[in-house]
Amino acid sequence: EKGGYDYFMLKEIAEQPKAVADTLLGRIDGSGSLTLDEVRIPPRVLREIDKVVIVACGTAFHAGMIAKYAIEHWTRLPCEVELASEFRYRDPILDAQTLVIAISQSGETMDTLMALRHAREQGSKVLAICNTNGSTIPRESDAVLYTHAGPEVAVASTKAFLTQLVACYLVALYLGQVRGTKWGDEIRAVIRDLSSIAGAVDQVLGTMEPVRELARTLASKKTVLFLGRHVGYPVALEGALKLKELAYMHAEGFAAGELKHGPIALIEEDLPVVVVVPSPRGRSVLHDKIVSNIQEIRARGARTIVIAEEGDEAVVPYADHLVRIPATPTLLQPLVATVPLQVFACELATARGNEVDQPRNLAKSVTVE
Ligand code: F6R
């Protein structure tokens, strides 16, 4: 049932192009608009929303962090994203004009469930993004947008994460479409770009051998740091989480702009630092800033592992290891940038002799608070 792979995780990583394509299937019509009729919150209600709040845990929380950038950009609605376990206990401000989005692969995570119950008690509409048909979270929500990743067996989430991102983009673009924003043309262009994104994920998967080799050489390291900016920041957090849970290594993700406020003191000779570089097209200020961050850490001895778009030559002089990803619109980059980090963590775990599919101390669904 592992389909020829040694681990479910490897199989699930490989299934990502299909999972992404399946999650888009039937949701874009012939004219290039989104049809999310299955989201049974009427457009009239969606037009009255004045705030979006996303709640989730772990990897699903990282998908929510990325969704915030997309929702605020394409809809101009304020969007908060919070760990479900924190949200519930801080008396959050919610009302009937708040759309709460609960993201959960299993649909059974207790913290997320308690957060959504609390939101509904305050009169908010709750939309679930979920991978498990008929599970508790979608059953208790006002509406659900299912991710079509198929069953995810490995404890560490991979294909579910990519499909959560796709679902989040669909919701953000749909809200933009329904409410009408000045980004109408961009929204239509991004919907077109989404249609070819599964191919881009597949392309990344085809180039992962050097990443595996690199991971094996780092098996005896104690710490790996991850840096990103904008949507690359949650990607960095996700890379660090995967490494913690699978390789049992100390790993931390930082917003690259925060380096000088503390973390740069951690940099020492030969410390591996993975940097997720935003596209040099699009918002080029972001790109230039991260290139200076790479220079700063390398000058202090870091071993830089740079994930950058094809054709980005500015990073070449400062990259000890360079991982190329296909060009995508800025907001969609996490769909391709996360994949090398999954492969990296999986290979490091294997090199360290760890049980990849069933890391110690972890359960696939966390049904206690
Ligand atoms: C990490 C991982 C966990 C889950 C988290 C939420 O690889 O799998 O962090 O993402 O426990 O689970 P769901 O999405 O089922 O609510």
Tens digits of per-residue pLDDT, 207-222? Answer: 999 999 999 999 999 9
pLDDT of residue 32: 85
* Closest residue by Cα to residue 273 from 212, 225, 218: 225
Task: Please report the beta strands in 268-343, taking only residues with DSSP state E, as ranges in sequence order.
Answer: 272-276, 303-309, 321-325
CA distance 24 to 104: 18
CA distance 302 to 140: 48
Q: Which residues contact 299 (CB under 8 A, 6 or more apart)?
A: none
Contact at 8 Å (CB) between 95 and 124? Answer: yes
Taking the CA of residue 137 as reference, the ligand 1 atom at the shortest distance is: 16
365 alpha carbon – ligand 1 mean position (Å) = 7
Neighbours of 183 (CB within 10 A): 17
Low-confidence ranges of the chain (pLDDT < 70): none
Q: Chain-wide mean pLDDT for the chain?
A: 95
Residue 226, exposed/middle/buried by CB under 10 A (0-12, 13-18, 19+)?
A: buried
Residue 267 CA from chain centroid, whole number: 26
Task: Please report the beta strands in the chain, taking only residues with DSSP state E, as ranges in sequence order.
Answer: 51-56, 79-83, 98-104, 125-130, 143-146, 223-228, 250-255, 272-276, 303-309, 321-325
Residue type at position 188: R
pLDDT of residue 284: 79
Best of 106, 152, 246, 342 to mutate for ligand 1, by most ligand atoms within 8 A of CB? 106
Q: Which residues contact 182 (CB under 8 A, 6 or more apart)?
A: none
* Element containing residue 217 per DSSP (H, E): helix 209-217
pLDDT of residue 11: 97
Taking the CA of residue 364 as reference, the ligand 1 atom at the shortest distance is: 8
User: Pairing mode, if any, of strands 79-83 and 250-255?
Assistant: unpaired
| Cα four-point dihedral sign 219, 341, 16, 313 | negative
pLDDT of residue 295: 97
Residue type at position 337: A
pLDDT of residue 31: 85
CA-closest residue to ligand 1 atom 16 = 104
Q: Which residues contact 38 (CB under 8 A, 6 or more apart)?
A: 143, 144, 145, 146
First to last CA, the chain: 32
Residue 266 in tokens: 């951690």
pLDDT of residue 336: 98
How much is the ipTM here? 0.98
Pocket flag, ligand 1, residue 59 (CB < 6 Å): yes
pLDDT of residue 314: 96
Tens digits of per-residue pLDDT, 32-88? Answer: 888 887 887 888 989 999 999 999 999 999 999 999 999 999 999 999 999 999 998
Residue 298 in tokens: 């390398």
Pocket flag, ligand 1, residue 164 (CB < 6 Å): no
Pocket flag, ligand 1, residue 203 (CB < 6 Å): no
Pocket flag, ligand 1, residue 104 (CB < 6 Å): yes
